[in-house]
Amino acid sequence: MPQLTDADRIARAEAWIAQDPDPETRDELAVIVARARTGDAAASADLADRFDARLAFGTAGLRGEIAAGPNRMNRVLVSQGAAGLAAHLLERSTDAGAPSVVIGYDGRRNSEAFARDVAEVMSGAGVRAILLPRLLPTPVLAFAVRHLTASAGVMITASHNPPNDNGMKVYLGGSDAGSQIVAPADAEIAAQIDRVAATTSVTDLARGAFEVADETVVDAYVAATAAVASAPAAQPRVVYTAMHGVGWETMRRVLETAGFDAPALVAEQIEPDGRFPTVSFPNPEEPGAMDLSFAAARAAGADLVIANDPDADRLAVAIPDIDEPEGYRRLTGNEVGLLLGWQVAEQAAGSHGTLACSIVSSPGLEAVARAHGLGFRATLTGFKWISRAPDLVFGFEEALGYLVNPGTVRDKDGISAAVAFLSLAARLAAEGRTIADRLDEFALRFGRFDSSQVSIRVTDLSRIADVMARLRAEPPTEVGGIRVERIDDLAAGIDGYPPSDVLRLVFDGGARVMVRPSGTEPKLKVYIDAAATEGSLEERRVAAADTVSRLEAGMRALVS
């Protein structure tokens, strides 16, 4: 956008108010405009933040804080996004009939209103629009794109973002039906959205009638997901939380169909509530987010805690641990991914297939694939890449995302992953063993793979760019007393990857550090991995933990 004056911003804000169908955001912006007219500096700065930039549409779609203006999530932006996506589908359509879109939504603020706007605007543009019957998990929408042979899918969700955020996540049909969009589709859709925003008022967009999918779509997802499980040989004692999200209704049906007993519930978090009143941040990875789950687990004497994030595309698992203050330890995403990947590899042994994970996830998955004669693929971060690995039988990323049922859902799915993990726990319980025992068995067979993460949340995004630029200009020769063997800059598009803003530091002894900006949050993320494959179990634990600890301390000092 060109440099704007205060008068320009006020004029644009008034034009925005005139087309905004939401009285709440209209009134909010009108107050700011009135204050800016009086010369209020804070109001002028607020308008600049909202109107000097536009929330960018990318491979993650749109995501941001709910408020008025083009740099926020609101009904104007969603309607423009829907019109742009419709134009893209119509331009690309080669079928005799109209292209189609299936739309889902979660329990966040404005999710249903945004979903109906998408359905109405896309229908008005000539796209067959099908709205899922009620608020449902993101994996159900990803499944529905394939199940209904839709040209596209739209999920209204901000996943595990802060409570006042929302988003619009886009899937395309075709050969990769149900996978998130990748280039060049993202840029093509973004160009159409920008054209709509520049030339058409939302009030002038045609709105049409849409269909509502019947329950058979959900029934089919439940049946396909329950089939991931083997008949439970034992019934572990389980506590479940939906983290105020939409996972429980669907999870309950899947568990029942698969033959698992009903888990004990974290009652305070089981119903959808977009305010997320019991957590400061609705992400199972965040400190304190699972405290209520641990309390419920202690009361129930649970063998396992299962948590979904608010749209149920992620899974967190915790197990008993007497060394932890809460009595339970949340497994890392890498630990869960390696156990699930090993289970899939055992089932696939003697056949063929590929195990895949993102480049920032544990290299232990490659060791599993190699030991079982399976292919392995490391991809750029995000399931838009993992889901496209050839001949995929399992994929994961360390951020609690797992793809265990690629024949039906081509995206991360916290419900099918939970069922697969419960099947593993049930089998171990029938043998008199635990998940902790299985982790030790993994370490002895494949090596002890430890990981950690440094996450720097910022308010000024330029700080992230500054850190990345500094690391490139002044690359470290050692971190935590461990010599850097080499630094790979993925911005150059090495190893066959598309150019990506990622730095890979490889150290003497094989440890690895990856540094990248988050794709969905204002964070700089540092991923640390080390392995120990020699000595006793305890020696491997100590060696891997020591390397990770030294690198974590060194990287914190380097990027803070």
User: Which structure tokens are listed for 311?
Assistant: 């749209």
CA separation for the pair 389, 383 (Å, rounded):
10
159 annotated active-site = yes
For the chain, how big is the Rg over CA atoms in Å?
Answer: 24
Q: What is the 3-state secondary structure (H, E, C) of 21-75?
A: CCHHHHHHHHHHHHHHHCCCHHHHHHHHHHHCCCCCCECCEEEEEECCCCCCECH
Q: What is the 3-state secondary structure (H, E, C) of 451-481?
A: EEEEEEECCCCHHHHHHHHHHHHCCCCEECC
Closest CA to 529 of 363, 337, 339, 336: 363
Contact of 516 with 501, CB cutoff 8 Å? yes
User: Which structure tokens are listed for 235?
Assistant: 């019934």
Compute the 3-state secondary structure of the chain and give helix, strand, coil in percent, each to the nearest 5: 40, 20, 35
Strands (E), 165-204: 165-172, 179-180
CA separation for the pair 47, 32 (Å, rounded):
7
CA separation for the pair 343, 327 (Å, rounded):
26
Q: For strand 128-131 and strand 211-212, is the pairing parallel, antiparallel, or unpaired? A: parallel
Looking at residue 536, the DSSP 8-state letter turns out to be -
| Active-site residue, from 44, 100, 151, 159 | 159
Sign of the alpha-carbon dihedral angle for 290, 291, 292, 298: positive
Specify the residue for token string 């024949």. 407
Q: Which residues are identified as catalytic?
A: 159
